[in-house]
Amino acid sequence: MDCELEKIAEKYRVYAKENGFELNPDKKILEETLRGLVENEKKHGEKYCPCRRVTGDREADKKIICPCVYHKKEIEEKGHCLCQLFVR
């Protein structure tokens, strides 16, 4: 994993630990998801969840900036969030 992705991963790792879950231990899934976040930031100006559709409506899309408003419920129900960045 390159240095930029590792910095982003560390930020999310701290967030996950503070909230009782962790980053996905599967390095391939983790790196793909982080790359998707970086690409969305370059393309759309925010780290939108790569598993969610960006509509272009900035107000509506605020909900899908990672960590999105859905991730905690998904982790509770499924053991991971939709994009599988965070796992129980």
pLDDT tens per residue across all 88 residues of the chain = 788 899 999 999 999 999 999 999 999 999 999 999 999 999 999 999 999 999 999 999 999 999 999 999 999 999 999 999 999 9
Q: Determine the CATH number of domain 3-87.
A: 3.90.460.10
pTM: 0.92
The encoded tokens of residue 14 equal 């701290």
Domain ranges (residues) in the chain:
3-87
Are 48 and 60 a contacting pair, CB within 8 Å?
Answer: no
Q: What is the pLDDT of residue 2?
A: 87
